[in-house]
Amino acid sequence: MVRYQWNEDDIIAGNALWRRATMKPWRFVAAALVVLLGSFGLMRVLGEPLWNAAGLSLLMSPVMIGAILALTIYGTRHSSLRNFNLTKANQRPLEAAWDETHLTITNANGFQKHPWTEFKCWAEGPTVIAFLHHAPLFTLVPKRSLSDEQLEEIRHHVERSGLPRARLFPF
């Protein structure tokens, strides 16, 4: 059992792992094609010659895709921090315990007992271990609260349970 209290850095790290685990490469490619073809179509509708429209679309698309990614990253991070700061229960001390079948999180309001099989997958970042639910939620255990033996023990239980490790998008 470990005791800890979440802080904003934990929430940001957990959100980044959740976002990277849920972002699929094919969606990124599809969005890039939609932006490329949409900008090309817009240029053609505005009367640009074919080659000018193609060139402008190729130049504009990386900027537009970058803007979409930046807004997505900022938006999910901002909403996670807002929800964390609005929910006072998230800012109280927690206890985490685990065994071969469950992860139990306890705070002053009650407890949650999650079978390992209830989670969709898990991910490990430099500062947190995130257990990702099927809904857009995650349960965090900050690494700063774990000894090396506890970290190995929780990894061992998760791997033995068959819970898959998340495949993370590069950014």
Residue-level length of the chain: 171
What is the average pLDDT score of the chain? 89
Q: What is the pLDDT of residues 5-58, one digit of tens each?
A: 999 999 999 999 998 998 887 877 888 888 888 888 887 888 878 777 777 777
Partners of 98 in the beta sheet? 103
Q: Nearest CA to 61 among 25, 37, 42? A: 37
Contact residues for 73 (Cβ-Cβ < 8 A; gap 6+): 19
0.85 cut: is pTM over it?
Answer: no
- Mean pLDDT of all residues in 135-153: 94
Higher pLDDT, 63 or 104: 104
- Mean pLDDT of all residues in 65-82: 86
- Mean pLDDT of all residues in 118-139: 94
Domains annotated for the chain, with CATH where assigned, are 2-11+89-161 (2.30.29.30), 23-86 (no CATH)
